Amino acid sequence: MLVDAIYRGLLQPVLFRFDAERVHDRAIRFAGSAGALGPSRRLAEALFCREFPALATNVFGLRFPHPLGLAAGFDKSGRAIPFWEALGFSHIEIGSISAERSLGNPKPRLFRIPSDQGIVVNYGLPNDGADAVAQRLANTALRVPLGVNLVNTNRGPGAPPETEEAIIGDYLTSLRRLEPYANYLVLNLSCPNTPDGCAFVSNAGRLRRMLAAVDDLRPMRPVLLKVAPFPDLAAMDAFLDAVAQVRFVSGFAVNLPPGKPPGLTTPAGRLRSMPGAVSGKPAEAAINQTLRDLYTRMDRKRYKLVAAGGIFTAQDAYRKIRLGASLVQLLTAMVFRGPGVVRQICEDLCGMLARDGYRSAAEAVGADHEI
């Protein structure tokens, strides 16, 4: 597509000369304005939106026009939702959003590593807070499902440690506030870039008490749990045991592993100046392994998997679907491949499913486990 060639040949080299976070902020501002104006939104729709009847799918009671959505973290506070819909995403996940507004971690906290096709992210969950986002969502109409991803407020480095009660209360506050506007909710239990971001689910007692507290609220929407790749299968089984005790969980998503994976080609000296976790291609293998294990070990009648991590092409998306993902998402590919990536992946995915004799994307979910 011409737009892809323009993005990759002209726009991306220019954008990559500037600070990653500044470009991200400007992109959100641009998308917010373009999405709010009828003519620019319709132009984006004409360029990027297509129907893919063979890819339409129902997951946890919601209809998705195809499986590929925008992952959490790109539009944290839901400032440009209509524009993402105009780019052809089948669902849009905003967040992570916390009960209180958060400034996140100190800057710089976002770095591109082009030779590895990844991003090093140490944002630490900056967002406008549940109240401001709820007000924004009250004025946003959408034809595709909206996911709202929730997390505990990051009060920044040096803030005193919080009690378990406070952390659970934070999730409950944003859940109550944002649930009316969401089609599905995600509890992000796994931010790799906050002081207690990963410890939460690794403590079985804390996890059980949090799940029980959410269960008591009886959420009306499907709720997913977003977890980091587990250190071993015993930890995954313990997690699944705890989740089986409550009724509200509809599925799981897998977050970035903390730290830097081995084998990066970016020089070690540069990486040392980039704190954070790595998205994109370097995260793909660990996330796919977690996906494979979760699909094998979870109760498939109760739970569905939503997977992001290094999806740049239809082949990457198809791999995750065959490993067990009912929905897939991307973020890093938007930065490296531009806005045409959604349409391209869907077109190619249609071809791959037809080639392999599947009549729908849903039929291919978990296919690799049947071989």
Ligand X SMILES: Cc1cc2nc3c(=O)[nH]c(=O)nc-3n(C[C@H](O)[C@H](O)[C@H](O)COP(=O)(O)O)c2cc1C
Positions that interact with ligand X (CB under 6 A): 71-73, 76, 95-96, 110, 119, 121, 123, 125, 149, 188, 226, 255-256, 279-280, 283, 308-311, 330-333
∠ CA 60-292-67, rounded to 5°: 40
- State which residue has the least CB distance to ligand X: 73
Instruction: Report phi then psi at 319, rounded to 5.
Output: -60, -45
Q: What tokens does 283 get?
A: 């995260």
Q: Which is nearer to ligand X, 127 or 140 (CB)?
A: 127
Tell me the closest approach of the beta carbon of residue 334 to ligand X, in angstroms. 8
Do 224 and 186 form a contact (C-beta atoms < 8 A)? yes
Tell me the closest approach of the beta carbon of residue 53 to ligand X, in angstroms. 25
Q: In whole angstroms, what is the distance from residue 370 CA to residue 366 CA?
A: 7
Q: Which is nearer to ligand X, 82 or 282 (CB)?
A: 282
Tell me the closest approach of the beta carbon of residue 370 to ligand X, in angstroms. 26
Q: Which is nearer to ligand X, 134 or 308 (CB)?
A: 308
Tell me the closest approach of the beta carbon of residue 360 to ligand X, in angstroms. 23
Tell me the closest approach of the beta carbon of residue 119 to ligand X, in angstroms. 4
Q: In whole angstroms, what is the distance from residue 78 CA to residue 136 CA?
A: 7
Q: What tokens does 327 get?
A: 């929905």
Q: In whole angstroms, what is the distance from residue 81 CA to residue 78 CA?
A: 6
Q: Which is nearer to ligand X, 54 or 186 (CB)?
A: 186
73 half-sphere exposure, CB direction, 13 A CA radius: 26
Place of tokens 């909710």: 185
Q: Chain centroid to CA 327: how far? A: 11
Q: Which is nearer to ligand X, 57 or 149 (CB)?
A: 149
Q: At what angle do helices 341-355 and 314-323 cross, to 10 degrees?
A: 60
Tell me the closest approach of the beta carbon of residue 65 to ligand X, in angstroms. 20
Bond preceding residue 82 cis, omega within 30 of 0: no
Q: Which is nearer to ligand X, 28 or 235 (CB)?
A: 28
